[in-house]
A and B are shown apart, each in its own frame.
Chain A
């Protein structure tokens, strides 16, 4: 595939590869996405806004320049100022992450000066680049400091540096994602209006999407990190209603699959810590709109929960042969699962939950 090197969220010529439940493959314009939906379906997107998670500064013990990339967090609470982070040595995004130097040796208690921010290292997480850190100061001051000092995590394959507005999806709301939930780039308000006209419902979840790649095989093998999320009561209710009427739940992005499958579609907050891949029995999601992923990417594993490897192999060959564009600003794939999600049986769906009971049964009344 070809790297999409221009950061345009919705290029008019964006393409869509569709994999039907039967494993058939079709090519379409992404602008025709709604043609593949039916009245009664429910489209669910991740409305997390993206933080400027890349912070340049200095490791105070050594004086060495560093780049900190905030990568994970254990809750969505504003006062929670503890993050996991990937740390690089000198240099910037124009160098591929694979070629970036290691940071100076980091140890618990070390302090990092990041513009107006100061962070303390809470621990090194089994890799020289991966640390737990905590920002010092009051929450408002820390968020103001991140807003001022931070830049979006950048990509070496792009032709220019990204600004914050380049990485916020049109529906971006709570600022908790570390990299953009980029499947949401496909959404615009005209499309949401079209869904309504077609009788397709729309809802959102919020999941603090972590980093997609750290440029280091040992770290990348640990992706995705745990990701906190929230499912609103109204979204859980929409899911129950869609299941009850036989509509399909279409996730916009792998982060939505992770949140919904972790929660079982129920409302509340949680931390998605599971991996989704071959053999995962999908309980909630019936289809996924995602980017074009290659087999070595962690996101590709999610596709294996929807279709067998033979179908995915044929789809990959079709993407290559037809010159689809890849990465955050690339073309899209809409993949339907081979069978209905396990949750279609409403009774079992309601009982089969990982979260404390907080049912939204009114929707079924």
Chain B
């Protein structure tokens, strides 16, 4: 796909589940990819498995890490066309009723799923708008969930944080349309990933979507958004 040729993409949560599948999918389509994850060993492993990709160790839930991550993304790719805020926290694990949830676990879901994407998007907005001004287009994809819309028992912290992320995407999109930055909020569906296994340990994997399938769909959505930008 031509839209991905030489495209500069950053993916958070890039060493497992959907993020890992996205790194592979984007690389196959010709994008230049930097990915972020918390664990050095896993970052090193994925970097080795995906030659040419740029692994960055950092935690999007930590304010102190955000500009260090943004710096390394900029240094690795020389700019940024697409940011995928994929890293997510469930909040309490195992999942808990809201009334049983610890505040700290709720806070972690908000830090990872809302404030992290807010901070990282803000830190990278200069790079994204520069890309838009240069006619390359700029897209921010925030990975959402049906829990952002529907009320599921025990998914309160995660659902509330994803609802906030979804609304934030909409406001970002409204405010930055004139700057040429498009915001997507997409629900990849229930996937066979470590995050899902943590939430629903006894789920039958056969009933779940493969993350590689979801990654293809998200890559198609990014491609369509960029094409619309160029239209």
Q: Report if B154 contacts A (CB, 8 A).
A: no
Is B218 interfacial (CB-CB < 8 Å)?
Answer: no
Which listed residue (B66, B76, B123, B129) contacts A140, Cβ 8 A?
B76
Given A49-B71, A174-B78, the answer on whether A234 and B126 have CB atoms closer than 8 Å is no
Q: Which of B67, B72, B130 contacts A47 (CB 8 A)?
A: B130
Residues of B within 8 A of A168 (CB): 67, 123, 126
- Which chain A residues border B74 with CB–CB below 8 Å? 49, 173-175
Q: In the complex, are the beta carbons of B75 and A143 less than 8 A apart?
A: yes
Report which of A78, A147, A169 forms a contact with B126, defined as CB distance below 8 A: A169
Interface residue total, chain B, C-beta cutoff 8 A: 29
B68 touching A148, Cβ below 8 Å: yes
CB atoms of B71 and A147 under 8 A apart: yes
Which of B68, B126, B134 counts the most chain A CB atoms within 10 A? B126
CB proximity to A under 8 Å, residues B39-77: 54-57, 66-72, 74-76
Contact B135 A234 (CB under 8 A): yes
A25 to B67, CA, bound (A): 39
Cross-interface CB contact of B179 among A143, A169, A192, cutoff 8 Å: A192
Least CB distance from A209 to B in Å reads: 14
Query: Chain B's interface: helix, strand, loop or mixed, by majority?
Result: helix
Q: Indicate whether A144 sits within 8 Å of B134 (C-beta atoms), given known contacts A49-B74, A78-B76, A78-B78.
A: no
Please name all residues of chain B whose beta carbon is closer than 8 Å to the beta carbon of A175 when the two chains form the complex: 70-71, 74-75
Q: How many residues of A contact B (CB 8 A)?
A: 34
| A51 touches B (CB below 8 Å) | yes
Docked complex Cα distance between A169 and B126 (Å) = 9
Measured CB to CB, the closest approach of chain B to A28, in angstroms, equals: 26
Name the residue among B75, B76, B129, B178 with the largest chain A CB count within 10 angstroms.
B75
Question: Does B79 sit within 8 A of A, measured CB to CB?
Answer: yes
State which residues 155-212 of B face A: CB under 8 Å.
Answer: 175, 178-179
Give the A-binding residues of B (Cβ under 8 A): 54-57, 66-72, 74-76, 78-80, 123, 125-127, 129-130, 133-135, 175, 178-179
18 A-B pairs within 8 Å (CB atoms) are namely A49-B126, A51-B71, A78-B75, A78-B76, A140-B54, A143-B71, A146-B71, A163-B67, A164-B67, A165-B66, A165-B123, A173-B126, A173-B127, A173-B129, A173-B130, A174-B74, A175-B71, A204-B133
